[in-house]
Structure 1
């Protein structure tokens, strides 16, 4: 039976992040998986970047939605502070880093390919 996934307090994530069971994702980046479809399908997770952390260059096989919930991140097209919604279409690629650290909600139509 399918169940509705509900996350509360995302805009207050800095004060509630300690309640989540974060897992290692990449060097300096932790994740909190929300859902993952099989066979590299859709997925959603919270990503927590430590100050100075960066994600490897990757290409989007489907749409990627990023909502910056705290801090800021920077990629090939600019600097993105808290409250920014980024939508990367299929076929685009970029590097991502966070100078001061950040927490983002990431939703993928299809999983990314690390280059």
Structure 2
């Protein structure tokens, strides 16, 4: 696996990394999985129209949008946007066009509602 560096991520080198299942139409590449009290760091790749249901942040979450646009109830975040969600906040996330984000979670989120079909 190639070394994950700021240059690799911002220059689009993430396109060469392997992503695995995370949620429907959202895949993940773990840079540093959760371990003990250590935060998790990953890349999330949303297909166009993908979403993550309403969830609560149990710890701090920070996001850097590397490509495309990620959206939540507060707005749309394009490439280069830096988003901070503090512990206790809730929202849903989606991407109409598809996007890739670098994300760090202090703790895993708690999913509050799942869509049923």
Short-chain TM bin: 0.7 to 0.9
Aligned to 1:10: 9
2:82 and 2:15 mapped to 1: Cα distance?
A: 24
Aligned to 1:97: 94
| TM-score (norm: length of structure 1) | 0.87
Consecutive unaligned residues in structure 1, runs of 5 or more: none
C-alpha RMSD of matched pairs (Å): 1.6
Alignment of 1:12-27 (within 5 A): 12-13=11-12, 16-27=13-24
1:18 and 1:81 mapped to 2: Cα distance?
A: 18
Instruction: Please give the secondary structure, in 1, of the residue aligned with 2:11.
Output: helix
| TM-score (norm: length of structure 2) | 0.86
Of residues 102, 107, 114 in structure 1, which corresponds to 2:104? Answer: 107
Cα shift readout 1:17-59 (whole Å, capped 9, x = no counterpart): 4411110110000100011233575201000000010012111
Aligned: 1:66 with 2:63: yes
2:11 and 2:20 mapped to 1: Cα distance?
A: 20
1:19 and 1:86 mapped to 2: Cα distance?
A: 25
Aligned to 1:78: 75
Count of residue correspondences = 109
1:38 and 1:12 mapped to 2: Cα distance?
A: 28
Consecutive unaligned residues in structure 2, runs of 5 or more: 113-117
Of residues 34, 51, 63 in structure 2, which corresponds to 1:37? Answer: 34
